[in-house]
């Protein structure tokens, strides 16, 4: 499994690197070769050569600094997605695949424009902050996803949400839906980081990435792992939020 971690040095808000650590460990525990390449501003790379592209979260300053480089890679990212490279996007990364992101100073950062959603800034500096739980269906597999959100951006016009909000805010204050998933990309505001608290989602990302080189690969083909500690963490969150798993 070959992974491109984009802008690892500036888009790593709230420990998003933990997502890569989880993928690496869960692959290694199954005997799956895991190759991770970090790709910074100005670094040449053919993203279509990778099974998974990961872009984490960052503040306004970081997003503004990388956007010229990101936009220069638009055709290559499209080529990668067309060739079944899966894409995992957290917070800022999720925003930048839409039309635009409006920063706190109301300046607009252009996005890649792959999707029709867009992100406006919260009114008077308001933010969506706190624990969040959503119910999602990932290619027919129903699961509850837990995390922590902290975003001023209000993402609107989302045609394919990742899941329905059980607790928290989601894409915007009154959205009732969180994230984006269309089979090609999974975008979400859930930090925490996302994957340590959600082993089923971690395995889903691995499964989607492995399908690039083996279209017949099934989720069930992943060898089961003990998720004892991960499940204890999830149980603690559900208990605190008074939610039945």
Q: Tell me: the pLDDT tens digits for 197-245?
A: 999 999 999 999 999 999 999 999 999 999 999 999 999 999 999 998 7
- What is the C-alpha separation between 239 and 245, in angstroms, rounded? 9
244 and 168 Cβ atoms separated by less than 8 Å: no
Whichever domain contains 171, its CATH number is 3.40.50.880
* Domain count of the fold of the chain: 1
Please state, as a whole number, how many other Cβ atoms lie within 10 Å of the Cβ of residue 232.
Answer: 10
User: Whose CA is closest to 190, among 236, 129, 108?
Assistant: 129
Q: Identify the band that residue 162 occupies on the pLDDT scale cut at 50, 70 and 90.
A: very high
Any residues with CB less than 8 A from the CB of 126 and at least 6 apart, and which? 152, 173
Q: Identify the band that residue 71 occupies on the pLDDT scale cut at 50, 70 and 90.
A: very high
115 and 97 Cβ atoms separated by less than 8 Å: yes
Q: Is 213 annotated as a binding residue?
A: no
Catalytic residues: 91, 191
Which residue range is the domain that position 157 belongs to?
Answer: 2-241
Least confident range of 18-27, 106-115, 118-127, 210-219: 118-127
């Amino acid at each position: 499994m070959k992974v491109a971690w984009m802008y690892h040095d500036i888009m790593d808000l709230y420990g998003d690197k933990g997502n890569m650590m989880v993928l690496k460990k869960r692959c290694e525990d199954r005997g799956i070769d895991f190759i991770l390449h970090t790709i910074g501003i100005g670094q040449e790379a053919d993203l279509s050569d990778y099974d998974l592209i990961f872009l984490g979260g960052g503040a306004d300053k970081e997003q503004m600094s990388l956007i010229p480089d990101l936009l220069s890679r638009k055709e290559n990212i499209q080529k990668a997605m067309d060739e079944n490279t899966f894409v995992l996007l957290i917070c800022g990364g999720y925003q930048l695949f839409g039309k635009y992101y409006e920063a706190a100073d109301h300046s607009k950062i252009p996005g890649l424009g792959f999707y029709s959603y867009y992100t406006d800034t919260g009114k008077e500096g308001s933010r969506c902050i706190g624990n969040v739980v959503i119910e999602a269906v990932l290619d027919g597999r129903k699961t509850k996803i837990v995390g922590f959100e902290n975003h001023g951006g209000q993402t609107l016009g989302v045609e394919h949400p990742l899941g329905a909000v059980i607790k928290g805010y989601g894409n915007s204050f009154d959205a009732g839906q969180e994230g984006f998933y269309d089979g090609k990309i999974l975008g979400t505001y859930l930090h925490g980081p996302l994957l340590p608290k959600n082993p089923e989602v971690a395995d889903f990302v691995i499964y989607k990435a492995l399908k690039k080189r083996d279209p017949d690969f099934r989720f069930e083909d992943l060898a089961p792992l003990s998720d004892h500690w991960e499940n204890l963490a999830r149980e603690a969150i559900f208990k605190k939020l008074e939610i039945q798993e």
